[in-house]
């Protein structure tokens, strides 16, 4: 009986990797409940409430087991000139996980849900980005954003702003188009 009491405490807690995988799973389910992106066609969508802080969800690429997304508010950070906060996400349908590929926060969201702390290594950065997304999705749900407030956006946020395209998507498409052009 004494051996149970003296068991090392690390065996009672999940490893950092297991905790990160659990966070990815929680983010998948939060995102699926909030906006159901797995059911949306490719394109841009906007969730509008009466607070003037519209949320934009871009469904960028759909593959058999993954879905690439971009989530942001519909305004530009005056300091950087980029949309912020902003998160580039990948949902894994088979594993029921959502991973943050890139994340940018701004002052307004940091005041609401807390800062995205600098990381010492890649693993720690993934944990922090995943935690930030988790808090942001919770905040969006608390504010009233949902699949019910999400509407297709034909042009994007404003007539002058095209839908978000990450650099790797355009480069890949151009490379593929170039290869196909040389075959014919």
Q: Is residue 2 a part of any domain in this protein?
A: no
> Is 174 among the domain residues?
no
Q: Is residue 171 in a domain?
A: no
Residue 78 resides in a domain? yes
Q: What is the pLDDT of residues 140-160, one digit of tens each?
A: 999 999 999 999 986 544 433
Joined together, the tokens standing for residue 161 give: 């702003």
Looking at the domain assignment, is residue 177 inside a domain? no
Contact 73, 56 (CB under 8 A): yes
How many folded domains does the chain comprise?
A: 1
Q: Residue 80: inside a domain, yes or no? A: yes
CA distances to 63, 103, 166, 181 from 174, in Å? 18, 25, 13, 10
Residue 75 structural domain: 15-162
Kindly give the confidence (pLDDT) of every residue in the chain, 184 residues in length, as a single tens digit, with 9 standing for 90 and above: 454 555 555 556 678 889 999 999 999 999 999 999 999 999 999 999 988 789 999 999 999 999 999 999 887 777 767 777 789 999 999 999 999 998 876 655 555 555 555 656 778 888 888 998 999 999 999 999 999 999 998 654 443 344 444 444 433 333 333 333 333 3
Residue 182 lies in a domain: no
Domain membership flag for residue 181 = no
């Amino acid at each position: 009986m004494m051996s149970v009491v003296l068991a090392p405490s690390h065996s009672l807690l999940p490893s950092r990797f297991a905790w990160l995988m659990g966070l990815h799973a929680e983010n998948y389910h939060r995102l699926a409940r909030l906006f159901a992106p797995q059911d949306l066609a490719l394109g841009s969508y906007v969730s509008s409430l009466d607070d003037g802080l519209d949320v934009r969800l871009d469904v960028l690429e759909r593959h058999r087991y993954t879905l690439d997304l971009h989530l942001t508010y519909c305004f530009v950070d005056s300091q950087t000139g980029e949309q912020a906060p902003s998160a580039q996400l990948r949902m894994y349908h088979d594993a029921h996980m959502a991973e943050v590929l890139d994340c940018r926060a701004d002052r307004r969201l940091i005041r609401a849900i807390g800062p995205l702390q600098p990381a010492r290594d890649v693993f720690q950065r993934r944990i922090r980005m995943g935690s930030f997304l988790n808090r942001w999705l919770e905040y969006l749900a608390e504010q009233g954003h949902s699949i019910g407030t999400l509407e297709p956006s034909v042009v994007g946020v404003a007539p002058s702003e095209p839908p978000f395209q990450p650099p790797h998507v355009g480069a890949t498409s151009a490379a593929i188009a170039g290869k196909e052009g040389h075959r014919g």
